[in-house]
Structure 1
Amino acid sequence: MQFTTQNIFTYLLITLFGIISISCDSIEDKKGRFLLKGNNKLMESDYQSAIEYYNEALKLDPNFDNAYYNRGIAYSAMAKFDPAIHDFSKAIELTPSYQDAYYQRSITYLDNGENYKSLADAELLIELAPEDYRGYFVKGLVMEQLNRFEESLASFSKAIEKNSSIADLYVNRATISYYLEDFETALTDLEKAVQINPKEANIYNIKSLIAFEKDDLSTAISWVEKAIELNPSQAYFYNNRGLYLLFKGELEKGLDDINLSLKQNSKNLFALRNKGIYYYLKGNKTLAIKYLEDVYSKNPEIKLTKKYLELAQEI
């Protein structure tokens, strides 16, 4: 094709128009594409790559609330709680009615050990969205951490009132009933949870704890092994099986489970207590007292700690 002056002029106009069109919508389109790519990586659990895509989106638009929110999710999944909290806070600053950001920030505060900040966010979410179960749910979790069990129970009940189709809510309420030694009420809630989601591993872990309290070691081990089968990555399940094995007299197998749990979470006071019980059962007074005194100083309310500390001191 031969280019006349007119053809060249027309071609330049078309090209120029295309450049103008791209430049007009490119920032919006590009940041959206980066967000989408980040979300895909997030779903693949490739959190670092997700963060890099969100960073690119934020370079294009420093006020992109969804990019801050999603980057916060990625940071939180990597247990990088401080940057996660920063990002959720930025999303809230940009969009003060951002309910999901309040919820995620409250959960992250809780994971970071900042119970009262978590509680404040839960209260804000309840005020912002009184029909949303999540504010009551987080409040229940915080009250559990503070050992304010009656208030925790009331909050979980309120969450169930708002949404009765979530297994986790019944499991959490059953956990509080277990702490209060109301085992039959706990089992009733666990049966409701089974009807909603029979593959929720925590159901069977709580059942195992109740069986242990009833001195039914075989049933306790059976239930916790079902929990492990459903979620083999949960440190607490191995720790509980370790405790049951100690009481069954299988000390070394029990210690293996306890150590595996501590490898995943070295600050788990229940596992440290169990290690103290192991050393008591082995007749090692010094190590038994060391572990049990440490746990008791940090949380004297943990069951069996005081009992076995006193027994260890009598060796």
Structure 2
Amino acid sequence: MNQSILNTKSLKILVLSISLLTTLGIDFLVSNNIKKSFVFSPYVEAQTISKINEAKVFFDRASMKYGDKAIADYTEAIRLNPKYYEAFFRRGLSKSILGDSYGAISDYTEAIRINPKYGDAYFARGLSRSLKDNYGAIADYTEAIRFKPKHTVMESIYESRGNAKSRLGDYYGAIADWDETIRLNPKYSFMVYLNRGIAKAETKDTYGAIFDYTEAIRLYPQFADAYFYRGLAKFSLLDKRGAIND
């Protein structure tokens, strides 16, 4: 059984979480741009601060928009402040939503170049990479876990890394990540239990698979796929009556 498991909600969770937060102030921008070892002249310093403030205006305005209009404002914020890593990150999210995964990856990469400890950018880049590059996605999820993103729940990162490992056939690694997802939040998602059950079936842990399918059903009683897989697992144990009931 070659099961391709996609995590379709993680990006939506990330975007929603960020949209609910108050946008950042300019303190970190100032520290990234004018608190250097050399000394600005008063005129240059005033001009720099003015551009930072103007960039923040475009950033805030973009946060209230969607699609190309948001991208245009984030682009203007970046023009005014080329080290505005949060603007690169948000522009990447906007591109991801519009289906421009390559453009999104480029923006996430630039955000990480400016701020190498930016956990949220690693996670978002991993989601975009997972469409074609599971190894790259796993590397990014691992970095995201390392740097503990501010806007992302950790269980979502472990779930996503488990999904990528499963697509590569690393079922034991996937199970370990989904174990951590469930440990962090036992009610996080019925899909985690289904996916872990499928992976357990691949490793010949049929009883463990049945347990997970049952947990998925408990969380979502209308989950037809979980009944189907549980029926297959019971049939493999020659429990034909149980399989028929599912």
Q: Normalised by the size of structure 2, how large is the TM-score?
A: 0.63
Corresponding position of 2:198? 178
* 8 Å CA contact retained: 2:175, 2:196: yes
Can you give the 5+ residue segments of structure 1 that lack an aligned partner in the other structure?
1-21, 221-315
The change in CA–CA distance for 1:151 and 1:211 in structure 2 (over 3 A counts) is closer
The answer on whether the counterparts of 1:171 and 1:189 sit within 8 Å (CA) in structure 2 is: no
1:71 CA displacement? 0.6
3-state SS of paired residue (2:63):
helix
RMSD: 3.3
Quickly say closer, same or farther: Cα 1:92–1:205, change in 2 above 3 A.
farther
List gaps (5 residues or longer) in structure 2. Answer: 1-45
Residue 178 (structure 2) pairs with residue 156 (structure 1): yes
1:27-106 alignment, distance < 5 Å = 27-41=51-65, 46-106=66-126
SS state of the match for residue 106, structure 2?
A: helix
- Say whether the 8 Å CA contact 1:109–1:115 is kept in structure 2: yes
* CA shift in 2, pair 1:187/1:173, >3 Å: closer
> Please, which moves more after superposition, 73-82 or 25-34?
25-34
Q: Distance in 2 between matches of 1:48 and 1:36?
A: 15
Correspondence 1:181-200 to 2 at 5 A: 181=201, 182=206, 183-191=209-217, 193-194=219-220
Q: Residue 173 and residue 32 in structure 1: after superposition, are their counterparts in 2 closer, same or farther (change >3 A)?
A: same
What's the offset of the Cα at 1:122? 1.8
| 2:229 corresponds to | 210
AA of the residue aligned to 2:198: Y
Corresponding residue number in structure 2 for 1:129? 148
1:165 positional shift: 4.8
**Higher mean C-alpha displacement, 46-55 vs 28-37:** 28-37
C-alpha distance in 2, partners of 1:205/1:91? 41
Quick check: 1:122–1:138 contact (8 Å CA) kept in 2?
yes
Identity of aligned pairs, percent? Answer: 21
The structure where helix makes up a greater share of residues is 1
2:127 to 107, 111, 120: 107
Alpha-carbon distance in 1 for matches of 2:194, 2:177: 13
1:117 equivalent among 123, 126, 136: 136
Work out whether residues 174 and 185 of structure 1, in 8 Å CA contact, stay in contact via their aligned partners in 2: no
Q: In structure 1, the residue corresponding to 2:64 is in which secondary structure? A: helix
Q: 1: distance between equivalents of 2:61 and 2:218?
A: 38
Q: Distance in 1 between matches of 2:71 and 2:77?
A: 10
Between the aligned partners of 1:149 and 1:91, the Cα distance in structure 2 is: 32
Taking structure 1 as reference, are residues 23 and 165 closer, same or farther at Cα in structure 2, changes over 3 Å only? farther
Q: Distance in 2 between matches of 1:212 and 1:53?
A: 52
* Residue number among 136, 148, 166 corresponding to 1:144 in the alignment: 166
CA distance, structure 1, for counterparts of residue 215 and residue 71 of structure 2: 39
Please say if residues 120 and 144 of structure 2, whose CA atoms lie closer than 8 Å, have aligned partners that are also in contact.
no
Q: Which amino acid aligns with 2:171?
A: F
Shift of 1:211: 7.0
Q: Give the 3-state SS of the residue equivalent to 1:40 in structure 2.
A: coil
1:188 corresponds to which letter in structure 2?
T
What amino acid does structure 2 have at the position aligned with 1:120? Answer: A
Using CA pairs under 8 Å that are at least 6 residues apart, name the structure with larger relative contact order, 1 or 2. 2
TM score, norm. by length of structure 1: 0.51
User: Contact (CA 8 Å) 1:66, 1:91: kept in 2 or not?
Assistant: yes
User: Displacement of 1:47 after TM fit?
Assistant: 1.3
In structure 2, how many angstroms separate the alpha carbons of the residues matched to 1:115 and 1:124? 14
